[in-house]
Structure 1
C-alpha cells in the first residue's frame, strides 16, 4: 500500500537497541568459532518481541530500523570535538554491529543508515515525510535528542519501560515544548556528546530563559538585559559557542534519502531466511520460538563441542544467590572477631574499602567489607557521619559519627594481623587502591589476588575489566549502582554521608561479587595457559606500583605558574600575528571564523565545507596548508599547541599537587591497554609532549629535592630490537649487536647510500619507516608524516619490505595466527585477543594492524614490567626511589652522591629483564641521564 493518511510508521532506533541488548542482557558467550554474539542475541530477541506485537489498532503499516553509519558525521566538521568524550566501543561489541544489520534484514524489516549523518537525522527526515503525507509516526527510542520531533502526529515509545512520550512528557523533562528543546539543549550543552553549551547554565535555567526570550538568537540579542552578572557575561562571551551548540543538537530533517516511505511497508519474515540466520548464530531457543510462530520446522543446530570450551564460557560454580538483604553489619569488636576466626579457618578473604574520594592519597576510610564465602559478607562502618543517629542526607550534614560503628583504630587493630598474615590470601578488585588506603593506616596488605588482573590476563582484548562489567558478564548480576547512593552532579554526596543500612548492602555486595569472580577466574589461568603471565607480570607489579604512586614526584608550582604566564603571553603574541596575517581580528579558537578567513577571505585551496556551510579546520587541514608555505595556518597550529599545553599541563598540574607532600601522585592502570602497557591517570604524566621545546620545558617543573638528583633510564629502541628478534632480521640484529645507528643502517640498506656523511633527511625518512612499520603505517600516513607525495611514501614502504622480507613474513604469519586462534601472543606468553580480526570493512584493517603491533609492543611492555618488579630488591639499601614509568623510561630520585652505583644497578636489571624467560638475539641497551629536574635527566 502507498503511504498516506491512515498509515502508521514505526522508526526503531537500532543503535539504542544494540546498546540496550549489550548492557542489559548477559552475554551469551560466543559461537563455537569464538565470535561474540551476546548483543546480537539480545537484539534478535528484542526484534522478535517487537514483531510479535504487530497486531491491534496500533500496529505499524510501515517500519524501519535506523542505524548510525559511523562515529563521524557532518557535525564533526562544525565542531571537531563533537562526541570526542565518548568511550571506545567495547572490543567484543564492535564485530557484532554488522550482524545486527543482517538480523534486521533477516526479520524482513527495512534497515537504513547514511554516511555523514546520524541515525537521529534519518529518523527526523522520515518522520517529517510521514507527517507531511498524512500518517502517524511512533519513534521507538528513549533518546532525549529525539524529543524535539514529538508532536503533530509524532510520539515516542520507550520500549523497555513500555512508556509513551508525548508533548506533556517532553515539557516535564525540558520545561519547554518540543519545538524549543533545541534551544534549551544549546544552552545546557551535553557532557556526554561534548556539546559545550553555556557553562554554568543547566536545563532548568535554560528553560526559564527560553520561556522568557523565545529562542537562543533573541536571548543572545538581549543578553545585556540579564540581571545576574555571571550569567550575563557567559551569554555574551560564549555567544558563538552557544550558536555552534544549537547547530550540533538540531536534527537534520532533510537528510538525503534513497529509501521512500513506500519501501518501508511491513512484511512478514520469510521463514527460510530468518531461520537460516538464527541457525548460523547458533540461537537454539529463539530458533524454536520463531519456527513455532511461523509454522516452520526448527533448524538443526549442532551442540557446541565440549572438548574446547571458550575461556569466558566456563560454568559458574554452584553457589548461593546474591542477596544484599542478608549481609551483616559489624558494629563491635565481638562481631568482628567472629569474622576473623572464620577468615583464619578459610585461609582467604575478599576485601574492599569504602572511602570519601577516588584519590587514595587524600581519601578517608569510611568502611571495610569482607566476604568469606559466596553470600556470606559483612560491612564494618567506621566513618559514616550522622544526623539524629543516622547518616546525613545532604552534603552539609553533621560531622559527628553515626551510631552503631566501630572506632577506626579498633577495627584496624583487629584486622591488621589478618591483612598482614602471609598464610591468608586477600582478594580484591583493583587491589592496589585498597592496599594504598590500608598502607596510609600502617597496614601492609599481603599476599593478594586481584580479580581485575585475573580477568586481564585471561581476556585482554575481549572486554573491560571493571567489576560491574565482570559481574554482569560472568555472574549475570547487575550490582547496586554507586550513583543510587551518592547521586550525581552538584548534588552528589561522599560515601561518609550514605546511610549505613544502604552502605552495608552496597559494600558487602562488592566483596561478595569479588569472591565469586575469583572462584571463577583463578582455575581458568591454567586452562588458558596464562598462569605465568599473571604470576610474573601482573600480581607482583601491584605493590611496586603502589609504592611508586605513594612516592610521587616533586613539582615546583612556581615553575608551572611562570610557564602558564609565558604561554599566555606567547599565545597573545601569536594571536596578534594571526590577526595581522588575516587583516582583521577574529576568534582564533573558533573553527567557523578561522575557516572563513582561510578559504573565503584569503582564498586558500583545499577548503571543504560541511553540510552546514562551515569549513573543516582540523589539525590535518591546517598541517597540509602549513606544508604549502602558508603562514597563518602554521601560526594557528602553534597557538593551538600552546593552548593545549597551558590548559592540560601547566594549569591543570598545579591542581594535582598534594598539599601535604608537595608532590604529584599519578595512578597507574595495569589494564589500561590490551598490550600490557601501563596507563597513567589523574594526572596523566605519560603524554607530556617532548617533540617541541615548550613541551619539553614542562618537565623542568618536575624537580629533585635539595641534595638529590633526578635519574632517567630509558630503553633504546626496544620495539625495533624485539622486531629484529621475532622477525629474524639478520642485518638489523647484527647492527644492534655492533652498536650501529639503526636508522642510518636502514637508510643505507634501502637507498644504497653510505652511512658516512649521510643526509639527515634520508636518515629521518628511514627512522619514520622503521617505527611506522611496527604500527602498520600506510602510504598515506607516511606521506603525511614526511610531507611527501603518497606514491613516493608507498614506494619507500614497498622497498622496505623488499629489503627486509622477514618483516612481511612476520606480518603475514601473525595475521594468519590471529585469524585462526582469535589472539596473538608476546614472547612472554601474554595473550591479546583479536575478536575483530575476521571482520570486514575498515574494522578489519584496524584489527590487522593491532594484531601485528601487539606482540611487539606487548613484549616491550612485558620487559619493563619485569624490570620494575625486580627493581625494589635491586635498589634496596641504596638511597633511591623509583618515581615514574613513562613508556620505555624509568625515573628515579637519588641522593646526589649515590648516582653512579644506582645507575649501574638499575642498568643491570633493565638490560637483563628479559632473561631467563627469553633469550633475545639482540642486546637490550639502556641510556642514563641525570639532572636537577626531569628535563635535564631525560
Structure 2
C-alpha cells in the first residue's frame, strides 16, 4: 500500500533556527537554519529508510502570509512578529535544500501549508493510501480522524493518533476544531472566547457537542463570567471556528504520483553542500559514496552506524552501591572505552572538590556515581552514596588502564581534579579538541553548542539545576535524581559527539594535527596548571602602590589640562571633556549618544600634532595602561595565590584562539606588556622557589622564519641560515642604508606584511602618508616576490575552500571571507594571510611542549619543570644545579620540534635566559 509522508516544512525551519546557534556558510551568509533544516531532513530520511517507511514524500511550505483567512478576519496572525532579519534570507536556501534532496517542495499562494497538507491527506486517503504528517502542529491533529492517517513528531520521536489527541486535549480529532475555536490561539491571533482555556473548552464541547451547541446553551448556564463571555463573544467564537477549520479541497499543485521516492541522487545534494561549505555533511556523503551506500540513509553529522535515540534522562542510573559500580567498571573494561565527566563544587579545578563521576558506555547507557552530595552543614543529612575513597580505589585502575580509552569534553579540567586525588587518566580522547581541529572558526566548541549543532539536542542548563542568584545552591546540594539527569547527560552527549568526530577526523584530514599536535598536549597543560608559578606577594603589593601613586599624579595632570576634575574612567565624562569642552574634531557617538573614547580614538587624537587634545589623550592612555595593569595583575594576582600551594595557577585553553595558539585566563599572561618597563616590573614578581631559578626559552623571529620557508624566499632563507639580522637585511633592501630608524621601520614592515596590513594601516604605524606606505609595500614585494605570491595563493585558496591550513594540517575556517560587508571581508582576509604562519608556529611550540617532559626525564633532569607558555616562549623552574644541563636539552627540543613531520628550510633559533625572576631571565 502506498504510504505518503507530508513534512510540515515551517515546523522544521523554526525548530532549526531556534535550536542551533547563528552560523554562517562559507559565503558569509546566515545559514544556521539552513544547516539545521538540512540535517533534520536528512535524519528523517535516515529514520524512515530504516523503518521501511514512505513510498511517497513531499515537503509543504507556506508561500505567503496573506491567505483567505485574512479576508475573513483582518487581524488573523496580525500580532505575529516578522521573521528575524537573519532568517529571511535563509528561506530561499531552505527551498534549495529541499530540492537538493530531489524532494517535491510544494507551496501555493493564498493557502497555508496546513491547508495543502489537509488536501493532500484527504486525496491520498481517498485512493486508499496511508498518510503520515510530520509535524507537531495542533491544528493538523484535526485530520487524525481515520485509521489510515497519523502524525509524527520527530523532535520527540512520538507518533500521534486519535488516542493521543484525546489524551492531550480531552476530545477526539473530530471535535478538536471545536475546542480550538473556543480556546483561541494567541500566536495566530484566533480570538476565541476570553477566559476559556483548553480544559474548559473540552468540558463544554463534551457536554454540548459543538461551538454552536455551546453558544445555544449559554443563556441557560449558571450566571457568571463564563456565561457572559460566551454570550458577548458568540460571533467571535463562530468566526474562530471558521479560522481553525482546515481547507481540504485545495487544488493540488502537484499530482500525488509525482511524489514517489526513487532514492536521492548524489550529485545535486553534493553540489548544494559544497556551495554552502557544510563540511560535516559532505564528509558523510563522501564516506557513504566510498562505501557504495546510497545517501538516503545518511545521518546528518555522519558518524554513528545507527541513529542515536533521543536522550532518555529518566533512564540514566544512579549508582549508590559498590556492586553496581563494579558492574559498570566491568562493562567498560569489556567494551574498551567509556565517556567520563566529573561534577565538582566549583569552576577552579585547583580548588574544587569532587562531588561525583558520570560514565557513559553507549547512547542512553549512562550513570552517575554521587560521591559528595549532602548539605553544607556538617550535621545535614546526606543521601546514600558510595564512600569517595572506596569508589576512587575501584575507578583508579580503570581510568589508568592502558587498554581502555577514556573520552572527555575539556578533559584537562577532569585530569586536574582527578590528578589531585592520585588518579592519572590515560589513554584518552578529548571532544573539545577534536571539534576544534575539525571546525575552528565555524562555531564555538562548548558542549551545549556542539550538542545543538551536531545532535539537535538542547542540554540541561546548569543554572536550571542549581538555581541562580541568592537562591543558588552548590552541585553537592542538588538531589540525586536531578543530579543524575544532568551529570549523566554530560557523559552521554560527550560519547555521542565522540562517535561523530572520530569518524570525521580521517575523512577531513584532521587526524594529523589532532594526534601529532593537540591531543598529546592535554595532560602537559594539566600538569603545568597544577604546578603553577610562585609570585612575590610583597613585590606585587609594592607595585600596586607605585601604580596607584603614578595614576594619582597623572590624574592631576589630566585635570589640569581639562581645567576641572572629572572621572577619567567614565567614557561619557571623558568624551564630553574631549569633544565638547575642548572642541576636538572628529568625535563619533555610538547608539547610546556617548562619544567613543576607545583606544583607537585616543591614539588618533594623540598622533595628531595639531590637535588640542594631543597631550591629554596621551596621558589618558598612560593612565588606562596603569589602571589595567593594577587591576588585572598587581591587585588580582595577590588574590589568585592558591592558599595551599602559595602559587598562581593560570588556566590555559586549547581552543581559545582560532589559529591554534594557547590562550590563558585567571590571570591572562598573554597581555602583560612585552617591551615596556611596567611589563618587566610585573614579570619580576614571578619568581623561583629558593634553590631554583627561572629559565625563559624564546623562539627568535619564528614567524619570519616560517614565512621564509612557506613563501619560499631565497634571500630570507639564506640570511637566516647565515644568522644575519633579518631586520637589517630588510632595511638595506628597502632603504639602501641601515641605521636605528631604518631598521625599526623594516622591523615594523616585516611583521605588518605578514598580518596583511593595508597601506592605511602601515601609514598609521610609520607615521607616513598612505602613498609612501604603499611605495614601501611595493618595494618589499619587489625584493621578496615570494611573500607576495604566498599572500595571493593563500587568499585564492581560502576563497575557494573556506579555510587555511598550517604545515601540520590545522584548518582555520573563515566564514566571512566572501562577505558582502567590506570591513568584514577585509578583516577575514588579513587574518587568513597570517593564519597558516601563526598556526604553524603554534603547532611547533605545542610539539615542543609535548616532547619536553620525556626529554628532560631521559636526561635525568627530574627537578626541571615547565611552568608557562606565553606567545613564543616557554618558562621553566630549574634547580640551580640542573641549569647547565637543562639548557641544551630545552634548546634542542624546541629547535627540532617540527621534525620529522615537517623539515624546514630555515633553522629555528632559541634564545635562553636565566634569572631569579621571569623578568630577570630576559
Aligned residue for 2:453, secondary structure, equals: helix
Contact 2:687 2:917 survives alignment (8 Å): yes
1:350 and 1:372 in contact (8 A); partners too: yes
Return the offset for 1:327: 0.9
Give the secondary-structure state (helix, strand or coil) at the position aligned to 1:850. Answer: helix
1:777 and 2:757 aligned: yes
- Counterpart of 1:907 (choices 852, 871, 891) is 891
What whole-Å deviation, never above 9, does each CA across 1:337-377 have from its counterpart, x for those lacking one?
A: 11111111111111111001111111110001111122211
1:867 aligns with 2:838: no
Structure 1 CA distance for aligned equivalents of residues 63 and 536 of structure 2: 62
Deviations 1:179-222 (A, max 9, x none): xxxxxxxxxxxxxxxxxxxxxxxxxxxxxxxxxxxxxxxxxxxx
* Alignment match, 2:602: 622
The correspondence for 1:844, drawn from 818, 821, 825, is 825
1:320–1:601 Cα change, 3 Å = closer
Question: Cα 1:34–1:529, aligned 2, differ >3 Å: closer, same or farther?
Answer: farther
> 1:509, CA displacement in angstroms?
1.2
Residue 359 of structure 2: aligned partner: 370
Alignment of 1:197-236 (within 5 A): none
Deviations 1:493-551 (A, max 9, x none): 21101111101111111111111211221122221122121111121111111111111
Specify every segment of 5 or more residues in structure 1 that has no aligned partner in the other structure, as ranges.
1-16, 69-95, 110-159, 165-288, 387-395
SS in 1 for 2:667: coil
Q: 2: CA distance between counterparts of 1:294 and 1:713?
A: 74
Q: Is 847-856 or 485-494 further displaced after alignment? A: 485-494
Alpha carbons of structure 1 residues 294 and 698: separation in structure 2 relative to 1, 3 Å = farther
- Whether contact under 8 Å (2:24, 2:815) holds in the other structure is no
Pick from 322, 338, 342 the counterpart of residue 333 of structure 1: 322
Deviation at 1:472, TM superposition (A): 1.6
The aligned counterpart of 2:681 is 697
| TM-score, reference length from structure 2 | 0.71
Number of the residue aligned with 1:460: 440
Cα distance between partner residues in 2 of 1:573 and 1:564: 14
The answer for the alignment partner of 2:412 in structure 1 is 432
Q: 2:389 aligns to what SS in structure 1?
A: helix
Partner of 1:679: 663
State the alpha-carbon separation in 1 of the partners of residues 580 and 251 from structure 2.
59
Name the counterpart of 1:736. 720
Asked whether the equivalents of residues 65 and 104 of structure 1 are also in contact (C-alpha less than 8 Å), the reply is: no
1:24 and 2:19 aligned = yes
Once the two structures are TM-superposed, the CA of residue 918 in structure 1 deviates from its matched residue by 1.1
Map 1:404-423; keep pairs closer than 5 Å.
404-423=384-403
Q: Is the Cα–Cα contact under 8 Å of residues 669 and 679 in structure 1 kept in the other structure?
A: yes
1:523 counterpart residue number: 503
Cα distance in 1 for residues equivalent to 2:81 and 2:322: 63
2:430 equivalent to 1:442: no
RMSD value, Cα: 3.6
Deviates more, 1:497-506 or 1:35-44: 35-44
Residue 740 of structure 1: how far off its partner (Å): 1.2
Name the structure 1 match of 2:211. Answer: none
CA contact (8 A) 1:715 1:889 kept: yes
CA gap 1:570/1:66 in 2 versus in 1, 3 angstroms: farther
TM superposition shift of 1:163: 10
> For the residues of structure 2 that align with 1:491 and 1:896, how far apart are their CA atoms?
52
Contact 1:686-1:886 within 8 A present in 2 as well: yes
* Closer, same or farther: CA 644–421 of 1 in aligned 2, 3 Å: same
Give the corresponding residue for 1:51: 65
Counterparts of 2:303 and 2:777 in 1: how far apart (Å)?
A: 48
Larger radius of gyration, structure 1 or 2?
2
Question: Quick one: structure 1 residues 683 and 19, their matched pair in 2 at CA, closer, same or farther if it must change by over 3 Å?
Answer: farther
The alpha-carbon deviation at position 850 of structure 1 amounts to: 2.0
Of the structure 1 ranges 846-855 and 424-433, higher mean CA displacement relative to structure 2 is found in 846-855
Q: Give 2:631's aligned residue.
A: 647
Residue 384 in structure 1 maps to residue 373 in structure 2: yes
**Is the Cα–Cα contact under 8 Å of residues 311 and 458 in structure 1 kept in the other structure?**
no
What secondary structure, in the 3-state scheme, does the structure 2 residue paired with 1:885 have? strand
1:601-648, CA deviations, whole angstroms, 9 ceiling, x for partnerless residues? 434444445677654333223222222353222111111111111111
Q: CA deviation at 1:791?
A: 2.7
How far has the Cα of 1:102 moved from its partner? Answer: 7.8
Change (3 A) 1:162 1:575: same
Partners of 1:454 and 1:26 lie apart in 2 by: 19
Q: Does 1:305 align with 2:305?
A: no
Contact 2:440–2:812 (CA<8 Å) still a contact in 1? yes
1:795 shift after superposition:
2.4
Partner SS for 2:820: coil
Report the Cα offset of residue 41 of structure 1. Answer: 6.6
> Which of 523, 542, 550 matches 1:562?
542
Matched position secondary structure for 1:370: strand
Deviation at 1:661? 0.5
Match of 2:837 in 1: 856
Which residue does the alignment assign to 1:147? none
Task: Give the structure 1 partner of residue 814 of structure 2.
Answer: 834
In the aligned structure 2, how far is the partner of 1:41 from the partner of 1:782? 40
Please say which of residues 867-876 and 310-319 is displaced more in the overlay.
Answer: 310-319
Q: Distance in 1 between matches of 2:578 and 2:594?
A: 12
In structure 2, what is the Cα distance between the partners aligned to 1:680 and 1:34? 29
Whether the aligned pair in 1 keeps the contact of 2:804 and 2:813 (CA below 8 Å) is yes
Q: How far does residue 674 in structure 1 lie from its aligned partner after superposition?
A: 2.3
Q: How has the CA–CA distance of structure 1 residues 25 and 695 changed in structure 2, closer, same or farther, with 3 Å as cutoff?
A: closer
Partner of 2:238: none
Structure 1 residues 761 and 20: alpha-carbon distance in aligned structure 2, compared to 1, 3 A threshold? farther
3-state DSSP of counterpart to 2:878: strand
- Is the Cα contact below 8 Å between 2:21 and 2:449 reproduced in 1? no
Distance 2:328 2:494 in 1: 17
What secondary structure sits across from 1:883 in the alignment? strand
Q: Equivalent residue of 2:305, what SS?
A: coil
- 3-state SS, counterpart of residue 478 of structure 1: coil
> What is the match of residue 932 of structure 1?
916
Looking at structure 2, the residues matched to 438 and 353 of structure 1 have their Cα atoms a distance apart, in angstroms, of 9
Contact 1:27 1:473 in 2 (8 A): no
Tell me whether 1:891 sits opposite 2:875 in the alignment. Answer: yes
Per the TM alignment, residue 829 of structure 1 is displaced from its structure 2 partner at its CA by 1.5
Please state whether the residue corresponding to 2:804 is helix, strand or coil: strand
Shift of 1:909: 0.4
Pairwise mapping of residues 575-614 of structure 1 onto structure 2 (< 5 A)? 575-608=555-588, 614=594
Identify the residue that residue 168 of structure 1 maps to in structure 2: none
C-alpha distance in 2 between matches for 1:428 and 1:334: 25
> How far apart in 2 are the matches of 1:830 and 1:563?
41
1:692 Cα offset (Å): 2.2
Aligned equivalent of 1:721, options 705, 728, 742: 705
| Distance of aligned partners of 1:354 and 1:294 in 2 relative to their CA distance in 1, 3 Å threshold | farther
Give yes or no for contact 1:316–1:475 (8 Å, CA) kept in 2: no
Partner SS state of residue 934, structure 1: coil
Number of residue pairs aligned between Structure 1 and Structure 2: 707
Deviations 1:735-794 (A, max 9, x none): 1111111111111101122x3xx1x22211111111111111112222222233333223
Aligned match for 2:305, one of 308, 317, 321: 317
Distance 1:582 1:443, change over 3 A: same
User: Using the alignment, how far apart are the partners of 2:89 and 2:311 within structure 1?
Assistant: 33
